[in-house]
Amino acid sequence: MQFPFFIVVIILYSSCLAGKGYKGRKDEVERYRMKKGYYILTAIVVVVALILWQIFLRTPQMADWQDGQHRLPVAVEVAPVMHETIMETGTYTGTLLPKSRFVVAPKIAGRLKKIMVDIGDEVANGSLVAVLADDEYVQQVDQARAELDVARANIEENHSTLNLKKREFERAKTLRAKKIVSESELDAAQTQYEAAVARQKVVIAQAAQKEAELKSAQVRLDYTRISAHWEDGRHSRYVSERFIDEGAMLSANTPIVSIIDIDTLKAVIYVIERDYPRVRSGQASEITTDAYPGRTFSGIIDRIAPVLKEAARQARVEIAIVNPDKILKPGMFVRVKIEYDRHENATIVPVGALIKIDGQPCVFLADTDMLKARLVAVDTGIISDDRAEIVDPVID
């Protein structure tokens, strides 16, 4: 207590010096004595307070306070330990695309006479989409049919000639056997017969050629009626885009409309290298979109790219989403939550209950009867949002 007493001595000594040798009128002397008494009283109060404080510091209770054995009560929030399912997930953003998309285009050139569908229309498999002007192709069919008729008539004509030459050759052989005709006359009859046989083969081939030309002309005529066809067995799809108007001159393969399948969509996301080993085909996922807040759609990982893009170190992943109500549309922005792992009946505590001491996760377990809490070191498992799994020790 030397330090407090030293302060008091200085205060008292200063007070005495303040009034030593002071001389003046009687009222001034009286005021000075009152001030001096006030200073002395203040010094005494300070001395007493310091003495009491020094005594308190030497008590066992205060020593315990300084050692941290007793702490002031602190208001805390308690939460029950839960036993429930917890999932480890990853969240990504992506875009919805149709499961399939193709462009309807003509196989031949021509003027677009009529478009039968427009954007948003439902299209049945095999239904008519557009019609080209067919005047020229009808004429080609008629011409090919006429040429085929001529070729078939040539076959009939040559067939008669062939029969005649055959009979003449047979008669020449009979007469030669009787020495009625010369050898040269027999050779001439044989040559004429063989020429008729060859001519018959030519006209038959020409007729086949004209028949093929007729079929080709008929196919080109059929191509003026442009239909939508697909092979997956689904009854209908939808027109997503229209690229041209009626009356336009089209070359072969000029796009007219695009057809999409939205019964099933795919969400395309890109997974970073760290998460790539954790993504597997068949994993469940949850999809949300700003278009339908509060609603969640289910999906399954369908395709995983076998390579990562070098520039971004990311891999393309496709999630199949069944869309029976057709409310999801291609091009929508989506958030995809992929379930990496799931633990059933896990021991769960709030993430806010975890603290780290020298890198070791710990929790305080509350004893509500004793109004105390004890610190327990724990091993954590899955941490998801505001929940944490306690793997060890077992906590009830």
Do 283 and 388 lie in one domain? The reply is: yes
Do 60 and 116 lie in one domain? The reply is: no
Do 112 and 180 lie in one domain? The reply is: yes
Distance CA 119, CA 241 (A): 6
Do 134 and 54 lie in one domain? The reply is: no
Q: What is the pLDDT of residue 57?
A: 57
Do 115 and 43 lie in one domain? The reply is: no
- pLDDT, tens digit (0-9, with 9 covering 90-100), for 342-375: 889 888 899 888 889 888 999 888 876 667 788 8
Residue with tokens 């278009």: 291
pLDDT at residue 15 tops 60? no
**Cα angle vertex 256, ends 251, 257, to 5°?**
160
Q: Is residue 13 part of a domain?
A: yes
Kindly report the number of other CB atoms within 10 A of residue 141's CB atom.
20
Percent pLDDT > 70 in the chain is: 82
Do 265 and 374 lie in one domain? The reply is: yes
Please state the domain count of the chain: 3
pLDDT at residue 6 tops 50? no
Where in the sequence is the domain holding 45, given as residue range(s)? 2-66
Distance CA 369, CA 212 (A): 100
User: If we measure between CA atoms, which residue out of 184, 185, 192, 187 comes closest to residue 167?
Assistant: 192
pLDDT at residue 13 tops 70? no
Which string of b and e fits 187-219 if b means at least 16 CB within 10 Å?
A: eebeebbeebeebbeebbebbeebbebbeebee
- pLDDT, tens digit (0-9, with 9 covering 90-100), for 208-265: 999 999 999 999 999 999 999 998 767 889 999 999 999 999 999 999 999 999 999 9
- pLDDT, tens digit (0-9, with 9 covering 90-100), for 96-113: 999 999 999 999 999 999
Distance CA 95, CA 371 (A): 53
Do 107 and 218 lie in one domain? The reply is: yes
- Asked if 258 contacts 240 with a C-beta cutoff of 8 angstroms, the reply is yes
- pLDDT, tens digit (0-9, with 9 covering 90-100), for 48-98: 777 776 665 565 555 544 554 555 566 677 888 888 888 888 899 999 999
Last residue of a domain, one of 18, 51, 66: 66
Do 126 and 21 lie in one domain? The reply is: no
Amino acid at 373: A
Q: What is the pLDDT of residue 292?
A: 94
360-363, Cβ contacts within 8 angstroms, sequence gap of 24 or more: 363/390, 363/395
Q: What is the pLDDT of residue 60?
A: 53
**CATH code for the domain in which residue 151 is found:** 1.20.120
CB-facing half-sphere around the CA of 204: CA atoms within 13 A = 8
In 116-229 the beta strands, taken as DSSP E runs, fall at 122-124, 128-132, 225-227
Q: Is residue 88 part of a domain?
A: no
Residue 9 banded pLDDT, cuts 50, 70, 90: very low
Q: Is residue 360 part of a domain?
A: yes
Q: Is residue 91 part of a domain?
A: no
Q: Is residue 109 part of a domain?
A: yes
- With a CB cutoff of 8 Å and minimum separation 6, the contacts of 391 are 347, 378, 379, 380, 381
DSSP 365-396: EEETTTTEEEEEE-EEEEEETTEEEEEES---
Do 50 and 125 lie in one domain? The reply is: no
Do 287 and 205 lie in one domain? The reply is: no
What dihedral angle (degrees, nearest 10) is formed by the CA atoms of 273, 276, 278, 281? 170
Q: What is the pLDDT of residue 104?
A: 96
Residue 302 banded pLDDT, cuts 50, 70, 90: very high
Do 217 and 280 lie in one domain? The reply is: no
Mean pLDDT over the full length of the chain: 84
Do 272 and 216 lie in one domain? The reply is: no
Q: What is the pLDDT of residue 8?
A: 45
pLDDT at residue 7 tops 70? no
- With a CB cutoff of 8 Å and minimum separation 6, the contacts of 95 are 267, 268, 331, 332, 333, 334
Q: Is residue 76 part of a domain?
A: no
Higher pLDDT residue, 174 or 252? 252
Last residue of a domain, one of 211, 227, 243: 227
Q: What is the pLDDT of residue 72?
A: 57
What SS3 class is residue 320? strand
**CATH code for the domain in which residue 288 is found:** 2.40.30.170
Q: Is residue 236 part of a domain?
A: no
